[in-house]
Amino acid sequence: MALPQAKQDATEARITALSLPEGGWADPARRDALARVRAMGLPNARDEYWKFTRPDTLVAAEAPAAATMDSGEAPLFDSRDRLKLVFVDGVFSPEESDDLSLEGVTIDRLAEAKDIHWAKDLYGVLEARAQSPVARPLAALNTAFASDGLLIHVTGKPSKPISLIYRHVSDRSDAILHHVVKVDPGAEATILENGPAAARFNKCMEVDVAEGACLHHIRAQGRDHERRAATHIFARLEKESVFKSFTLTVNGAMTRNEVVVEFTGDDAVAHVAGACMGDGDFHHDDTVFVTHDAVNCESRQVFKKVLRNGATGVFQGKILVKPDAQKTDGYQISQSLLLDGDSQFLAKPELEIYADDVACSHGSTSGAIDEDGLFYLRARGVPRGTAEDLLTIAFIAEAVQEVEDESLQEDLVERVAGWLARRRD
Amino acid sequence: MLEIKNLHVKLEEEDKQILKGVDLTVEAGKVHAIMGPNGSGKSTLSYVLSGRDGYEVTDGSATLLGEDLLDMEVEDRAAAGLFLAFQYPVEIPGVGNMTFLRTAVNAQRKARGEEEMSSAEFLKVIRARAKDLKIDAEMLKRPVNVGFSGGEKKRNEILQMAMLEPKMCILDETDSGLDVDAMKLVADGVNALRDEGRGFLVITHYQRLLDHIKPDVVHIMANGRIIKTGGPELALEVEQNGYADILEEVA
């Protein structure tokens, strides 16, 4: 079916503004992805999947400018022993990064990887698989045009987290990054991501978790106010594997985080969680799609949003259970704390189940701060502002607790507490 | 310590007068009890004094150590030394009991211009006080009141009282939902805090709590007023004859 002319024009305008990297092993994958983009067209406001989030600034040929922000605070995870890999406006910086060597993992730059490379079997492959039943054209655009990224092959159990650090330097940076992560059978690693990446950021991460392997992913987005970001995670889980991803988001004019999980092996576990806090001109969208196509797998989606001064939060979450995916255990909760009457939370929870022996549940709520709790805290002498902060942290706690490492949980909560306290000063 | 004069209070949302001229003075070092039938205004009095929303003071005054309570924010009343042990302590999922208490203790100290308590000092004190109330380390770690039994919640109120060391304590039906053993434990906790410089106002339906926390003065409240004041024997009279006799007597 031919695309509407307007959509076709917008798509071509975006493609024309980019140049296709050429001359490497990824060429065929990039060309296929470009064909996918042309066939699907980039999203516009009429697309059902973009009903609650306007894609125009994410799609525009030119990125809207976004001021950089000096938060004046030490970057998150700074005190931790980790392998530091730094990107400045979407370009890997060897000078600012650690040596790419760590026992139990091999890391290459997408831009430099040799022709015979394991990533050839994954680059754009998981993204392409995830284009049905719902199109994700911004991810295909990413596969075609990504100019940098890391290919991370976890072969053992690295002694420290692999830490991707983003730095936003130019007001007009428009970065497209694509990471591929392959975790071998029985291997286990933690990937951290934090920092403002660019004025506009399109990022994909394809994750293949092999039998008995485990990947923890903890990400922090913010605190840059004017950022626009579209990110995708595509995770494929094989037998008895574990994938846990948590995202903390603060500020940002437009953030769309999509996570697509596919269970292909039995007895696997995937948890996807997020907490976001937004104020004023803030739009945050979590879109999650979990496909159960194997027996006895467990999936959890836990999303919490704290919104005020007209901020908007969106959650679109789906659990699809295929006919043979018996004994599926699926759970989904999305909640918002609306600190005033101006903010809004839009949720579209979906279950689609074709197997008969499954346990799936979902829930979605919006509420104000608990007045009884507030009075109780104040009656003990806790000032109103501090009491509200405590209750806000309590609200996001269920999502933060999805992070398995308690010291990382503490880092995240401490950071949130600091933000809340400073907001009052 | 606590001085209430001619206090008139109505509900904010509807035209319903709850307190119709309450006069009450609690001296430092004394325990006063308020008894009265359901709907007499006992709990409203405790809420108005602690600053809960939903009530409107139409006349009268309430002062704590000479300071106008009714003009203060809820948290300032607490810092000034007022403590309300809740009839229904609130559950706060996600906030650890210990974090909550340390935040409260230090917020009050800060408000009074005192030095904050160090973590080590706080731990030492809370462990000792918790032990007296048979509150174990697990209960201290759990979110505030979440999953606590009725007795545990009330013990937790007394622990907070012990940590915050208020000057004026109001206990709102602290005996409700307690079995005899739990009531004794709570009463022992309260008695341990009785002190020359501290006043207590114990609100209760039944005389049995007053067997354990011996009051100096007993007031009977009905229809928004204190209708009779006497010694501990007044509580026994209520126990034996109910409120009907007294209500008739003053009518």
The answer to whether residues A292 and A320 touch, using CB atoms and an 8 Å cutoff, is: yes
Task: Look at the alpha carbons of B207, B87, B133, B152 in this order and tell me if their dihedral is positive or negative.
Answer: positive
For residue A148, give the nearest of A132, A164, A130 by alpha carbon: A164
Q: What is the pLDDT of residue B102?
A: 93
In which residue are the tokens 């001064």 written?
Answer: A309
The answer to whether residues A168 and A89 touch, using CB atoms and an 8 Å cutoff, is: yes
Q: Give mean pLDDT, residues A345-365.
A: 96
- The distance of A381 to chain B (nearest Cα, Å) reads 4
Q: Which amino acid, A252?
A: G
Of A1 and A14, the structure prediction assigns the larger pLDDT to A14
- In this prediction the pTM is 0.89
Give strand pairing partners of A320.
A291, A352
Among candidates A371, A386, A394 on the partner chain, residue whose Cβ is nearest the Cβ of B92: A394
- The distance of B230 to chain A (nearest Cα, Å) reads 30
Distance (Å, whole) CA B3 – CA B61: 8
- The distance of A272 to chain B (nearest Cα, Å) reads 20
- State the distance between the two ends of chain B, measured CA to CA, in whole angstroms: 31
Distance (Å, whole) CA A228 – CA A269: 31
In which residue are the tokens 């940590």 written?
Answer: B163
pLDDT at A231 over 80: yes
Percent of chain A with pLDDT over 90: 90
In which residue are the tokens 């839009």 written?
Answer: A346
The answer to whether residues A165 and A85 touch, using CB atoms and an 8 Å cutoff, is: yes
Rg for chain A (alpha carbons), in Å?
21
At A153-176, the pLDDT tens digits run 999 999 999 999 999 999 999 999
The answer to whether residues B111 and A381 touch, using CB atoms and an 8 Å cutoff, is: yes
Residue A1's pLDDT band, with cuts at 50, 70 and 90, is low
Cβ neighbours of A376 in B, within 8 Å: 86, 89-90, 92, 144
Give strand pairing partners of B230.
B218
Cβ neighbours for A332, distance < 8 A, ≥ 6 positions apart: A288, A300, A301, A317, A319, A349, A351, A360, A361, A362, A363
Range 72-91 of B in CB contact (< 8 A) with A: 73-75, 77-79, 84, 86, 89-91
Distance (Å, whole) CA A291 – CA A328: 10
* Inter-chain CB proximity B78 and A379 less than 8 Å: yes
Mutation for testing the A interface, residue in B46, B69, B95 having most A CBs under 10 Å: B95
At B188-233, the pLDDT tens digits run 888 999 999 999 999 998 888 888 899 999 999 999 999 999 998 8
Q: Which amino acid, A63?
A: A
* Inter-chain CB proximity B103 and A382 less than 8 Å: yes
The answer to whether residues A245 and A235 touch, using CB atoms and an 8 Å cutoff, is: yes
pLDDT at A70 over 90: no
Cβ neighbours of A395 in B, within 8 Å: 94
* Inter-chain CB proximity A376 and B92 less than 8 Å: yes
Displacement of CA A285 from its chain's centroid (Å): 10
ipTM for the complex shown: 0.95
Q: At B143, is the secondary structure helix, strand, or coil?
A: strand
Q: What is the pLDDT of residue A425?
A: 65
Q: What is the pLDDT of residue A418?
A: 86
Q: What is the pLDDT of residue A2?
A: 82
The answer to whether residues A205 and A193 touch, using CB atoms and an 8 Å cutoff, is: no
Q: Give mean pLDDT, residues A389-418.
A: 92
* Inter-chain CB proximity B104 and A375 less than 8 Å: no
**What would the DSSP string read from start to end of A77-117?**
TTTS--EEEEEETTEE-TTTSPPSEETTEEEEETTT--SS-
Among candidates A370, A372, A381 on the partner chain, residue whose Cβ is nearest the Cβ of B75: A381
Rg for chain B (alpha carbons), in Å?
18
Residue B123's pLDDT band, with cuts at 50, 70 and 90, is very high
The answer to whether residues B161 and B186 touch, using CB atoms and an 8 Å cutoff, is: no
In which residue are the tokens 């506009």 written?
Answer: A200
CA angle A388, A390, A394 (to 5 degrees): 115
Give strand pairing partners of B209.
none
- The distance of A75 to chain B (nearest Cα, Å) reads 25
The answer to whether residues A400 and A275 touch, using CB atoms and an 8 Å cutoff, is: yes
The answer to whether residues B143 and B93 touch, using CB atoms and an 8 Å cutoff, is: yes
* Inter-chain CB proximity B51 and A379 less than 8 Å: yes
- Give the E-state strand segments of chain B in sequence order: 2-11, 17-26, 31-35, 55-64, 67-68, 82-85, 92-96, 143-144, 168-172, 199-204, 217-222, 225-230
State which residue of chain B sits closest to A397, comparing Cα positions. Answer: B94
Q: What is the pLDDT of residue B95?
A: 86
Cβ neighbours of A391 in B, within 8 Å: 92, 94-95
* Inter-chain CB proximity B93 and A377 less than 8 Å: no
* Inter-chain CB proximity B52 and A393 less than 8 Å: no
Determine contact: A424 vs chain B, CB below 8 A. no
* Inter-chain CB proximity A376 and B86 less than 8 Å: yes
- The distance of B195 to chain A (nearest Cα, Å) reads 20
According to DSSP, the β-strands at B82-85 and B67-68 are: unpaired
Range 91-110 of B in CB contact (< 8 A) with A: 91-95, 99-101, 103-105, 107-108
Q: Give mean pLDDT, residues A230-246.
A: 98
Among candidates A379, A386, A398 on the partner chain, residue whose Cβ is nearest the Cβ of B50: A379
At A281-325, the pLDDT tens digits run 999 999 999 999 999 999 999 999 999 999 999 999 999 999 999
Among candidates B90, B108, B160 on the partner chain, residue whose Cβ is nearest the Cβ of A373: B90
Cβ neighbours of A371 in B, within 8 Å: 53
Distance (Å, whole) CA A67 – CA A199: 7
Give strand pairing partners of B32.
B201, B217
Q: Which two tokens stand for residue A33?
A: 């992805």
- The distance of A306 to chain B (nearest Cα, Å) reads 15
Determine contact: A376 vs chain B, CB below 8 A. yes
